[in-house]
Amino acid sequence: MKKDIHPEYFTDAKITCACGHSAVMGSTQKAVFVELCSTCHPFYTGKQKLVDTAGRVERFQKRAAKKDAAATARKGKKIKKVAAKNRKKEKEESVEE
């Protein structure tokens, strides 16, 4: 095994949850902050709660709506270009006759 490539291991690292519960465990970091732990996780407590603290769902929906709007705008521009080409061809054909 190579020497001096592994991080320092703390046997007395403090793990703190957002609910306030804390525990002492081993880790490569001296202090760790988590959003959920066994005392507040719905699987262990039997209580269901929605955990969307960062608004990820809303951000995704906003981003998806923006992409749809951009695609619609591109499609509209493409239709206008095709219509303009068709008008130009019709004009040229009528002039040739």
Q: Record the pTM.
A: 0.43
Q: Does the pLDDT of residue 83 top 70, yes or no? A: yes
Within 8-97, where are the H helices? 42-45, 56-96
Q: How far apart are CA 28 and CA 7, in angstroms?
A: 6
β-pair type (31-34, 10-17):
parallel
β-pair type (22-27, 10-17):
antiparallel
Token pair of 5 as six digits = 């490539």
Q: Does the pLDDT of residue 52 top 70, yes or no? A: no
The dihedral built from the CA positions of residue 75, 81, 85 and 91, taken in this order, carries a sign that is positive
Decide which of 25 and 79 is more confident: 25
Over residues 2-28, the pLDDT tens digits come to 888 989 999 999 999 988 999 999 999
What integer pLDDT is reported at residue 32 of this predicted model? 93
